[in-house]
Amino acid sequence: MTVVLVLLAGCAARESTAPRAGGVLYFYQKHLSPVDGDRCSMYPTCSGYAAETFKKHGFPVGWIMTCDRLLRCGRDEMKRSPVLTVKGRTRCYDPVAANDFWWYR
């Protein structure tokens, strides 16, 4: 469990998708992420990605895609996806559409 929390904390960011996101994500973005700071190296950040994928695909698929994203965050994806500069920080662009293109039309 600690490992999961460490992974989530590693993706802390203040990007707000709050009202649209579920209660847990809202709580995370509103209260936990500001404490930990903006550290996610991907864009959208993992919590923003989770909010988007839950909205787009609903619970089971959204949950699986969020876990997949947490596994990939900040590692090999950095060399393979386009790079963006967001708020002065270089981030790896990895939207939901780049991960569901092969089955979701």
CB-CB contact of 60 with 23 (8 Å): no
Give dist(CA 63, CA 87) in Å, integer: 28
Classify residue 12 as exposed, middle or buried by CB count within 10 Å of its CB (0-12, 13-18, 19+): buried
| Residue 50 is a binding residue for another protein (CB under 8 A) | no
Selected from 12, 17, 72, 91, the binder of another protein by CB under 8 A is 72
Site for another protein (CB under 8 A): how many residues?
Answer: 24
| Residue 27 is a binding residue for another protein (CB under 8 A) | no
Nearest approach, Cβ of residue 3 and another protein (Å): 5
- Rg of the chain over all Cα atoms, to the nearest angstrom: 13
CB-CB contact of 41 with 73 (8 Å): yes
Selected from 29, 33, 47, 66, the binder of another protein by CB under 8 A is 66
Selected from 71, 82, 83, 90, the binder of another protein by CB under 8 A is 71
Selected from 13, 25, 40, 65, the binder of another protein by CB under 8 A is 65
